[in-house]
């Protein structure tokens, strides 16, 4: 199954978690306090992150969570937007490498 992935930068993690949880009618699958949150709904994979390299509220990248993907890949489209392709386990591996205490399992 394929889900659209959207990654957004924020400087207000707590407020973003509250806002997006209401908008999505779902609690995040993971919150790394002060740094990151991830929602995985039936159709959407949405992450928000404190990112010093991106302006708050900006798009960090797009992509696809695809259960048939065997490796993490990324490329850049004609508009300069980074697109990632990954499966849920590969995303969990990346999360746990960045935040080892997260212990995230999809």
pLDDT tens digits for range 44-94: 999 999 988 899 999 999 999 999 999 999 999 999 999 999 999 999 999
For 50, residues 6+ apart whose C-beta sits below 8 A from its C-beta are 9, 10, 11, 13, 34, 35, 36
Please count the structural domains in the chain: 1
The range of the structural domain enclosing residue 43 comes to 2-102
Q: What is the CATH number of the domain that holds 20?
A: 3.10.180.10
pLDDT of residue 53: 87
Q: What mean pLDDT comes out for the span 34-38?
A: 97
Pairwise CA distance, residues 98 & 81, whole Å: 22
pTM given for the model: 0.92
CA distances to 4, 27, 80, 87 from 84, rounded to whole Å, are 10, 24, 13, 10
36: pLDDT confidence band, cut at 50, 70 and 90? very high
Tokens of 106: 């999809």
């Amino acid at each position: 199954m394929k889900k659209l992935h959207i990654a957004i930068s924020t400087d207000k993690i707590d407020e973003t978690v509250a806002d997006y949880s209401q908008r999505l009618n779902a609690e995040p699958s993971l919150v790394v306090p002060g740094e990151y949150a991830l929602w995985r709904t039936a159709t959407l994979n949405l992450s928000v992150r404190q990112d010093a390299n991106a302006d708050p509220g900006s798009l960090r990248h797009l992509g696809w969570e695809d259960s048939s993907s065997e490796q993490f890949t990324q490329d850049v489209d004609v508009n300069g937007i980074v697109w990632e392709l990954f499966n849920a386990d590969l995303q969990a591996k990346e999360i746990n490498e960045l935040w080892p205490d997260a212990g995230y399992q999809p």
